[in-house]
Amino acid sequence: MKKYLHAFAMCQSMFCAIPFPGHLWDEKARDKMLLFLPIVGLEIGGIWAVLAWLCRVLNLPALITALILCAYPYIVTGFIHLDGYMDVTDAVKSWRDLERRREILKDSHVGSFAVIGILLLVLAQFAFMASAPVDANYLILVFIPAVSRCGSALAVMALNPMSTSQYAQQKKPRSHIVVLTAMVCIFVAAGFLLCGKYGFVLVGCIVGYAIALCRAYKSLDGMNGDVAGYALTIGELCAVAVYALI
Measured distance CA(230)–CA(83) in Å, rounded: 8
- For the four alpha carbons of 217, 219, 225 and 228, in that order, the dihedral sign comes to negative
Q: Give the pLDDT of residue 180.
A: 96
**pLDDT tens-digit map of 189-211:** 999 999 999 999 999 999 999 99
For residue 26, being part of any structural domain is answered with no
Amino acid residing at 229: G
**pLDDT tens-digit map of 61-101:** 999 999 999 999 999 999 999 999 999 999 999 889 989 99
Q: Give the pLDDT of residue 168.
A: 62
For residue 27, being part of any structural domain is answered with no
Measured distance CA(246)–CA(185) in Å, rounded: 21
Measured distance CA(199)–CA(158) in Å, rounded: 26
**pLDDT tens-digit map of 99-138:** 999 999 988 888 899 999 999 999 999 999 999 999 999 9
Q: Give the pLDDT of residue 173.
A: 75
For residue 217, being part of any structural domain is answered with yes
The share of the chain scoring above pLDDT 90, in percent, equals 74
For residue 30, being part of any structural domain is answered with no
Check whether 228 has a pLDDT greater than 90. yes
For residue 185, being part of any structural domain is answered with yes
Closest CA to 191 of 139, 135, 136: 139
Measured distance CA(102)–CA(229) in Å, rounded: 16
**pLDDT tens-digit map of 160-185:** 988 777 766 666 778 889 999 999 99
Residues of the domain holding 68: 36-245
Confidence of residue 20 (pLDDT cuts 50, 70, 90): confident
Q: How many domains, in total, are found in the chain?
A: 1
Q: Give the pLDDT of residue 190.
A: 98
Answer with the residue of higher pLDDT: 161 or 6: 161
Q: Give the pLDDT of residue 184.
A: 97
Q: Give the pLDDT of residue 6.
A: 79
For residue 41, being part of any structural domain is answered with yes
Mean pLDDT of the chain: 92
pTM of the model: 0.94
Confidence of residue 2 (pLDDT cuts 50, 70, 90): confident
DSSP track, 69-130: HHHHHHHHTTTHHHHHHHHHHHHHHT---HHHHHHHHH--SPPHHHHHHHHHHHHHHHHHHH
Q: Give the pLDDT of residue 22.
A: 66
The number of residues in the chain equals: 246
For residue 19, being part of any structural domain is answered with no
For residue 22, being part of any structural domain is answered with no
Confidence of residue 217 (pLDDT cuts 50, 70, 90): very high
